[in-house]
Amino acid sequence: MTSPKPPQPDAPDPRRWKALALLALADFVVILDATIVNIALPSVGRALHASNSSLSWVISAYVLAFGGLLLLGGRLADLFGRRRMFIAGLAVFGAASLAGGLSSSIGELITFRALQGVGAAMLAPAARALVTALFKDGPERAKALGLWAAVAGSGTVVGLVLGGVLTSGLSWRWVLFVNVPVAVFAAVMAPRLIDESRAHSTDRSIDVPGAILVSGGVLAALYAVIKAPGAGWGSTQTIGLLATAAALTATFIRVESRSRSPLVPLRMFRLRDVRGANIAMVLMGAAMGGMFFTLTLYQQQVQHYTALKAGLAQVPLGLILIALAGAAGPIVDRIGVKPTLVAGLTLFATGIAWLSQITAHGSYLADVLGPTLIIGAGLGLAFVALTVASATGVHEDHHGTAGGLINMTQQLGGAIGLAIATAVATTQTHGTDPVSLTHGFRGALIAGTAIAAIAIIAAVAMLARPHPINDAPAVPAIA
């Protein structure tokens, strides 16, 4: 079957909306996989005779590989073809999902989860770069990114629900098998709907030292915060790993400043929106990661929800997030990125603050539903604004790198937020009764509120002055 004739260079691609749906579906599955396995962990432990410490690596292996390799994946997509890297990532991700579902030991499962993370790090920044290549800067791109964020942003919530449904109705293996048909479908359809795009530079050299340094730094930082609740924030392990991460990052910056073909052009950070978006994303990701973790534990340990019921309780949040993210493109177009982001973060922080008033004998309707709807609305607006801001003014040759960067900061933020929420909840919990547990969970949510408030301050202080997309001044793209 022959592919349709590609459009003229200046004409919009008539396949672009179908391509957007395909790219969003693939990114949705990547985000889904960060949470869908969580609810299946007790079943995995029983089936594979795994300890709790081993089970934690089923999650950590994916997060470490995904977060540590995102920048490299984005740069490789820019250099060697975004569609090519997208399809290759799908192949790795799908194969690892199939192998993981067939695992007969916990060691095998952890290995294949790490390989899933590698595939996700290949396809996620490539998919994001393909969206910016398909839609020209302006209102249409804002609309496309709104729809993109609506689908991708719901992945975390849907993962909680689908994980419970599949584990209860079939088996834990299906939380991995479900990825396979999606990966195959997307890999088959991609050449039919998407033209290849890459950086125009003739220099195809890979910044190997930079890739090793930044991946090592991110891995050390992620591992430190993931293990800090158990080892202790003041332990030699945690301090040593964080110091290693800082040293590797400092060396990376020095190497990049001297490289002719850097993994990340440091001049990209001269762009206020790019710099501000990534800092705000770390903070929002931290508040979000801690909030979801705390709320899930509260519902299961205090309100005695089943895993499936806890996941279903997040459906209203997911629906409002999808609705607001889908509508956020025109809002960004009308009032600008900065006001939209500040409004979204303010709603998000308000929702967490309200949620922090949970009680040991509270109900879903009285204590949870209202704040989670506000949280979903805030996240819907903020995700779209951050997605737009993270590529504003970036030269098209580096759209993959920009996509990898904003994905990486979200992963870092989520890991940090999870560690903080765990530490605060543990410190403030002095028993196993519902009142003591709720006291600890409230403390974790108050910490999340504080982090979200700092995100608002960062957005106000660091993003460029607000302007609607249609009235935006000409900004020279930084190569």
pLDDT above 80: residue 428: yes
Opening angle at CA 311, ends 103 and 280, nearest 5: 95
pLDDT tens for each residue of 275-323? 898 999 999 999 998 898 888 888 888 888 877 787 788 889 888 988 8
- In sequence order, the 6+-apart residues with CB closer than 8 A to the CB of 266 are 253, 256, 257
Q: What is the DSSP letter of 136?
A: -
Q: What is the DSSP letter of 397?
A: G
pLDDT above 50: residue 170: yes
**Across 352-367, average pLDDT:** 92
Round to whole Å and give the CA distance between 417 and 348.
Answer: 15
- In sequence order, the 6+-apart residues with CB closer than 8 A to the CB of 105 are 48
Q: What is the DSSP letter of 81?
A: -
Bridge partners for 478 per DSSP: 394
Whole-number pLDDT of residue 151: 77
Cα–Cα distances (Å) from 388 to 115, 149, 156, 347, 391, in that order, read 29, 10, 20, 19, 6
Average pLDDT, the chain: 83
Give the chain's domains with CATH numbers.
Answer: 14-136+152-195 (1.20.1250.20), 208-263 (no CATH), 265-469 (1.20.1250.20)
- In sequence order, the 6+-apart residues with CB closer than 8 A to the CB of 196 are 81, 82, 83, 84
Token pair, residue 444, equals 């974790």
Burial (CB < 10 A; 0-12, 13-18, 19+), residue 4, is exposed
Bridge partners for 394 per DSSP: 478
pLDDT tens for each residue of 127-168? 888 888 888 767 777 778 777 777 776 777 778 778 878 887
Q: Residue 472 — very low, low, confident or very high, per pLDDT cuts 50/70/90?
A: very low
pTM over 0.75: yes
pLDDT tens for each residue of 370-408? 999 999 999 989 988 888 888 777 777 777 777 778 878
Name the nearest CA neighbour of 127 among 32, 204, 194.
Answer: 194
| Cβ contact 121:65 at 8 Å | yes
Round to whole Å and give the CA distance between 136 and 231.
Answer: 48
- In sequence order, the 6+-apart residues with CB closer than 8 A to the CB of 254 are none
pLDDT above 60: residue 9: no
pLDDT above 70: residue 478: no
| Cβ contact 448:294 at 8 Å | yes
| Cβ contact 97:177 at 8 Å | yes
Higher-confidence position of 239 and 427: 239
What DSSP line would sit under 102-118, residue for residue? Answer: T-SSHHHHHHHHHHHHH
Q: Residue 414 — very low, low, confident or very high, per pLDDT cuts 50/70/90?
A: confident
| Cβ contact 67:412 at 8 Å | yes
Token pair, residue 378, equals 């805030």
Name the nearest CA neighbour of 291 among 384, 371, 381.
Answer: 371
Higher-confidence position of 248 and 418: 248
Q: Residue 476 — very low, low, confident or very high, per pLDDT cuts 50/70/90?
A: very low
Whole-number pLDDT of residue 475: 38
Round to whole Å and give the CA distance between 327 and 378.
Answer: 12
pLDDT above 50: residue 195: yes
Round to whole Å and give the CA distance between 350 and 367.
Answer: 14
Question: What are the helix (H) ranges across 81-207?
Answer: 82-101, 106-134, 139-153, 155-169, 174-177, 179-193
Residue 114 CB coordination number (10 Å): 21
Longest dimension (CA), the chain: 67
Round to whole Å and give the CA distance between 298 and 421.
Answer: 12
Residue 254's Cβ-side half-sphere holds a number of Cα atoms within 13 Å equal to 6
Whole-number pLDDT of residue 466: 57
Round to whole Å and give the CA distance between 161 and 143.
Answer: 27
Token pair, residue 130, equals 């393909």
Token pair, residue 186, equals 């997307």
Whole-number pLDDT of residue 203: 60
In the block, which residue shows the tokens 């349709």? Answer: 4
pLDDT tens for each residue of 197-251? 776 665 666 777 877 888 888 888 878 877 777 788 789 999 999 999 999 989 9
Higher-confidence position of 236 and 78: 236
Name the nearest CA neighbour of 254 among 298, 292, 210.
Answer: 210
**Across 455-472, average pLDDT:** 72
Round to whole Å and give the CA distance between 116 and 257.
Answer: 32
